[in-house]
Structure 1
């Protein structure tokens, strides 16, 4: 059986957004509800926790140092040394009930991230350019989630969780424009909701299923389900490749809204998990602004 192992039993309310910094051999991820960024270097026993004044949905490395964050109130820079936050811009100042969720840099260093809304279709998908100007890519989003670019940098894969599908867009590397969105994977019933996502060197997608206790590997060209990784926590939120050879799949989980009975059955919920794969992932891109 392909089962992930728990490497940090953090009991996060909503663990999310793992990013591997290959240069530092360090994994970053967040507990959204706990307002925490975690950083764990592979030669350390325990991760370091940075406590923030509001929820952070996603992060990326920044070429100039520190991190770029997508938070409740827009985009911010974060200085790991001083723990100072610097506001960049908030594209939804009139939407206090919405926050940024998943986000990643693209192959040329722009940052793409979407918001989530309590109202169906009330959120949107944005691009933060390297000059720090923000552009609204499209609306009609409910819970913006997983992102991945293919190897030849012509496609963007994207998840809006309640749709229970993965969309593929034409991606124009030079301009950053995405267009012609189509469904490439329809999620079968009964395996949870598609959440975070990553891609491997064979252009196959790895998708975390919230409520499903699994990560699935899929062929986006055919929609075929290729492999299943079991996770001893039902709320599987995201995944990314890391380790020296980029063959370790790191998996984040949550425990929000689980009952005491639920937690007796899955005491490791909210932990960070790892699974050794037979395929390499791709290095994370960096924000160049």
Structure 2
């Protein structure tokens, strides 16, 4: 069913490819990126203000870290952004030998390890990695094309991963102590739909909220993968979502304008803007990078 939550325009940002929203519980700010404009944004919902950092190249997933820092994955590297000074510290090169790839989405698990995946122009050439606070890098999954929305169940027993090219959200058994995944199975298959799953978030009830690229909506699935409800949004390509606000009941939704025709943009004028939905569901606090 469609939910009657009012969808509000939070920010007229006109991003080309808004993505990867993450709520920083410590300073009550929403960080998000405009991938193709090379910008990391910091949004203050109380003031309605937004500032951005030009990071010099495409930028994907973010994770809060200590001392006013954000860990971020870019085209072929991991780097640290200082949100006080704007300084960027390169950390590690990854997939530098794959010029058709870039990093796309990611999050930290409860122990502060950074999971991030790539997107490839070549089918099956994208991967999922885990970067640990001790500086080690681990290849976790291969054979992907658009590694996308990921997250964990509230009890840390299940890991979710999207491959948008296959229009599928997968579930894995997850071992928190070891940081391993196994037993992949299809949780949601949308191959019969005209849209595809993009970024996602998991709420405190264990349900998955997935933004639907080309779908004008965010869909909430239960832990068994059955659709519970849809939130209609006024743009063709919502890209990702996360819960924020003081009580974690505000669902922030990023969107894209890239690739849309003039006719499509007229139909969804606010493509690329940031939206907010006040729900009656609580999200889970963002996990910060432990390094």
State the TM-score, normalizing by the size of structure 1: 0.97
- The alignment status of 1:187 with 2:194, answered yes or no, reads no
Residue-by-residue CA offset, 1:126-174 (whole Å, 9 max, x unaligned): 0001111111112101001001111111110110111111111111111
- The alignment status of 1:32 with 2:40, answered yes or no, reads no
For 2:234, which of 222, 226, 232 is the aligned residue?
232
Q: In 1, distance between residues paired with 2:270 and 2:120?
A: 28
Residue-by-residue CA offset, 1:218-259 (whole Å, 9 max, x unaligned): 0132x2110110110001100000011100100000000111
How do residues 91-102 of structure 1 correspond to structure 2 at under 5 angstroms?
Answer: 91-102=94-105
For 1:72, which of 60, 72, 75 is the aligned residue?
75
Tell me the CA shift for residue 87 of structure 1: 1.2
Structure 2 equivalent of residue 54 of structure 1: 57
For 1:254, which of 231, 253, 256 is the aligned residue?
256
Structure 2 equivalent of residue 277 of structure 1: 279
Tell me the CA shift for residue 175 of structure 1: 1.2
- The alignment status of 1:207 with 2:215, answered yes or no, reads no
For 1:159, which of 162, 167, 179 is the aligned residue?
162
| Secondary structure of 2:36's aligned partner | coil
Q: In 2, distance between residues paired with 1:284 and 1:276?
A: 18
Tell me the CA shift for residue 25 of structure 1: 1.0
State the TM-score, normalizing by the size of structure 2: 0.96
| Secondary structure of 2:263's aligned partner | helix
Q: In 2, distance between residues paired with 1:162 and 1:266?
A: 23
Given that 1:3 and 1:231 are in contact with CA atoms closer than 8 Å, whether structure 2 keeps it comes out as no
CA RMSD of aligned residues (A): 1.2
Structure 2 equivalent of residue 266 of structure 1: 268
Tell me the matched-pair count: 288
Structure 2, gaps ≥5 residues long? none
- The alignment status of 1:138 with 2:141, answered yes or no, reads yes
